Amino acid sequence: MVREWDSRTAPSAEIESLLDTLNAVLAADLPEDPLWQGGSLREYQSETMPGERRISWVAEEPSADGNTALVGHVNVLLLGDIGVVELFVHPEVRRSGLAHQLLATAVRRTYDEGFSAIGVEVVGGTPAVKFYESLGFEREYVETRSVLKLSTVDWLAVGEMARGIATGYRVEFFPGGPPDDLIEAYAVAKAAVREAENADLDLRPSSYDPQRLRDSLTCLHKRGMKPYIVLAIHEKTGAVAGLTEVVVPAHHPTRADQYDTIVVPDHRGYGIDRAIKSRMLFELRSAEPKLTDVQTWNALDNEPMLKVNAELGFQPDREWYEYGADVPALLHRLDPKT
């Protein structure tokens, strides 16, 4: 049975059941990734940015102990002019039509809410690739995920990289997020790169204005995701010349997620990218002693950042795909009677 579901009010037993299914999916599809830990899944599912809404459904069936198990989940995050889908089903019930049913439910609601575009992130080398492509989703963006195992880091070499920034800049570390007096400069730096490159993923939009950045940091904390920020400050002007963001999620605290790394075009060529990413690694080693690795995603044509990551010791792991579809057409494919 598929029913609408709200993680904010769901019984703890349902949260635990959903966590079990999610970890079964990870074990089958991404066996080298850390399993999720309990304690933050409810908040991770329920907290959203202002102006965004997440609608969720679960599939349940009787379990061996006589209770009910949640064996599938789908949610659609409605943001801007697009709906972003997340879907997973327990490996034991795959190829039963359940994923098709869950997706059809989410797409129908997306259509009813007035959205005409829908997207999904898909991990390369998993059954999800064939599933979405068979339904007409079109691949719109490709990234490479790379993983750095901290046990393999050459800390002496990384220390040299951290000191390799040109004179006239200072590097500062801010656990939890930058102070409010730097938010404006932080937003200006992100906006400058957005205007220069216009390469932001639709499904993971960044924030480019001060209030949106404040809201983003607040949302991360509520979802159990601790942000760490390193900034390169141009001493003469006080401008943020570069930044790098890493988040350590409570649900997999041994693996950190790299978010944006940005060097403002006018400040490139001064060793900022290497210095700020190296400084981040040193700070994480002290701030998060349980951390074992860091994962990052880069576009295939982002050769400068791929080079920096390789120098730090990141190893390419998998491709990550962004797919998109037209909602009315997709709904018709899922339910030809529509």
The domain spanning residue 127 has which CATH number? 3.40.630.30
Count the Cβ atoms, other than its own, within 10 Å of residue 145.
Answer: 18
- Boundaries of domain holding 107: 2-144+322-334
Are 171 and 282 in a shared domain? yes
- Please state the rounded mean pLDDT for residues 281-289: 96
pLDDT of residue 195: 57
User: Residue 51: left (phi > 0), alpha (psi -120 to 50), or beta?
Assistant: left
End-to-end CA distance of the chain: 21
Are 179 and 265 in a shared domain? yes
pLDDT band at 200 (very low <50, low <70, confident <90, very high): very low
- Please state the rounded mean pLDDT for residues 206-221: 88
pLDDT at 324 over 80: yes
Identify the H or E element spanning 41: helix 41-46
- Please state the rounded mean pLDDT for residues 288-294: 96
Are 187 and 308 in a shared domain? yes
> Which residue in this structure is represented by tokens 């290497």?
274
Integer Cα distance of 217 and 79 in angstroms: 17
The structural domain count of the chain equals: 2
Are 212 and 300 in a shared domain? yes
Are 186 and 304 in a shared domain? yes
Residues 6 or more apart whose CB falls under 8 angstroms from that of 128 comprise 29, 87, 122
pLDDT of residue 193: 76
Give the tens place of pLDDT for each residue, 76-113: 999 989 999 999 999 999 999 999 999 999 999 999 99
Determine, yes or no, domain membership for 181: yes
Integer Cα distance of 180 and 191 in angstroms: 17
pLDDT band at 267 (very low <50, low <70, confident <90, very high): very high
* Residue 336 backbone dihedrals phi, psi, to 5 degrees: -55, -20
Side chain identity, residue 143 = E
- Please state the rounded mean pLDDT for residues 157-162: 94
Are 115 and 76 in a shared domain? yes
Determine, yes or no, domain membership for 317: no
Count the Cβ atoms, other than its own, within 10 Å of residue 297.
Answer: 19
